[in-house]
Amino acid sequence: MGRIIMLVAGTLLGLFVLFNFILPMVVGLVKVALIIGVIGVVVFLVVRLVSGSSSSYR
């Protein structure tokens, strides 16, 4: 009986840690990676447009 109680308590504690600590941290990391990726694409496009326009004037 004690083994079943400890199994249930361990499962509930594991789910608590998963949903309250690990998943929000992963979602936050994905948001940061997405923001950095969008900034990188914008910088890439600006550099590509500026370099393309400066070579057409020659």
Does residue 13 fall inside a structural domain?
no
Is the pTM value of this prediction over 0.85?
A: no
- Structurally, how many domains does the chain consist of? 1
- Alpha-carbon distance of 28 to 15, in angstroms, equals 19
Does residue 5 fall inside a structural domain?
no
Picking from 43, 21, 19, 23, the residue whose alpha carbon sits closest to that of residue 31 is: 23
Does residue 58 fall inside a structural domain?
yes
- Domain with 50, as residue range(s), is 25-58
Rg, C-alpha atoms of the chain: 25
Structure-block tokens of residue 4: 């079943």
Over the stretch 10-50, which tens digit does the pLDDT of each residue have? 999 999 999 999 999 999 999 999 999 999 999 999 999 99
- Alpha-carbon distance of 52 to 58, in angstroms, equals 11
Does residue 1 fall inside a structural domain?
no
Structure-block tokens of residue 15: 């789910």
